[in-house]
Amino acid sequence: MRAAIVTVLGLTLGIVGLFAQTPTGTLNIYYIDTEGGQSTLFVGPTGESLLVDTGNAGDRDLGRIVEALKAAGVKQIDHMWTTHYHGDHVGALLALAKQFPIMHFYDHGKPHPNDRIVSAAFLSSYEELSQGKRTIVKPGDKVQMSALDIAAVASANQFIRSNLSGGGRQNAACSGTPKKDESAYMDPDNGESAGFVLTYGRFRTVDLGDLTWNGELDLMCPTNRIGAVDLYLTSHHGLAKSGSPALVHGLQPRVVVMNNGTRKGGEPDAFRVLRESPGLEDLWQLHWSYNVGLENAPALFLANIDDNATVANVLTAQQSAPRGGTAAASHSSAYLIKVSAQRDGAFTVTNTRNGFSKTYRPRP
């Protein structure tokens, strides 16, 4: 069985290799399936690499990340960005460092002191691994990466207070978006997430890790200092703890990628905010979500789908599917979503499950 799984995984990620050969001057982004965690690979037009988070611990996510790196032609990780220290974001980091040289590390510094799920053992090993190669980012800091502008906009519950290019207007979406009571959250390191805006010419994308609702309001209200983006990776996997109208509607993304799992993330309230976002053209998902059933994006835009019988059972069940962080059994076909962006602002999104691609022309 293990050999069969490895074979299918190799075939799946072999598809990625077909897409790795892209024209010079292209920024490639790989949204790797980590079953509701995060691992996103950026390969700049000069071949320089930035990896954001490393999914869950164990061979499953490690293998998927390694295959994606190889398919993209990455020999070393030039920049390793850790949004925060939860296991679905740092799980494979230490093991990955044994297979690929990591040249520099970026993170938000010490974890939130009240977080009850950050691993002390990981933190100790990470301190040793990153010694002398680590930057604790502050809002406004830049990652020096050829041809790209990467600006930290959030870190350790601090947020930019100067405007990025295109930012500076009052955010009308702040009206009627109150803050929530987050005092009972057992995982406050989410709110410490280090997030950034990446710009390549006229193309812009944002990754805020698992930044929660109140932090989003602190970042975006009353002034939208970021401006509009072309591509938004959903904060917190599409959980209702994040993805506020103030953030999503303020950013006005044309395209959204949701890094959800079958049962993790992809909650109804998150879908509602996305669908009400002005200017949204398409939602792409790493998984069909049990939490919303028929409200998922069309199948062409779904990277991973359960078999027909399982989907039918979910849709016809008397009770709604469980929500939250419990993951389903992992599947062997780990399809990812790839984005190829050009300096003029045009970008193409590809679903490696079915080969479906759609190109988005530059904003007017």
pLDDT tens-digit readout, 71-115: 999 999 999 999 999 999 999 999 999 999 999 999 999 999 999
Give the domain extent around 19.
2-339+349-354
Q: Examine residue 364 and state whether it is found in any structural domain, yes or no.
A: no
For residue 334, the domain's CATH number is 3.60.15.10
Record the pTM. 0.90
Which whole number is the average pLDDT over 278-285? Answer: 97
Q: Examine residue 363 and state whether it is found in any structural domain, yes or no.
A: no
Q: Examine residue 344 and state whether it is found in any structural domain, yes or no.
A: no
Q: Examine residue 359 and state whether it is found in any structural domain, yes or no.
A: no
Q: Examine residue 58 and state whether it is found in any structural domain, yes or no.
A: yes
Q: How does pLDDT run across 310-359, given as a tens digit for each residue?
A: 666 666 664 454 444 444 445 557 899 999 999 999 999 999 999 999 99
117 Cβ neighbours under 8 A, 6+ residues apart = 86, 87, 186, 187, 189
Look at the chain and report how many structural domains it folds into: 1
Q: How does pLDDT run across 189-228, given as a tens digit for each residue?
A: 999 999 999 999 999 999 999 999 999 999 999 999 999 9
Q: How does pLDDT run across 22-77, given as a tens digit for each residue?
A: 556 999 999 999 999 999 999 999 999 999 999 999 999 999 999 999 999 999 99
Q: Examine residue 361 and state whether it is found in any structural domain, yes or no.
A: no
Whole-angstrom distance, CA of residue 354 vs CA of residue 336: 11
Give me the chain's average pLDDT, please.
90
Q: Residue 326 has what pLDDT?
A: 44
Q: Examine residue 362 and state whether it is found in any structural domain, yes or no.
A: no
Q: Examine residue 75 and state whether it is found in any structural domain, yes or no.
A: yes
288 Cβ neighbours under 8 A, 6+ residues apart = 262, 296, 302, 304, 305, 306, 311
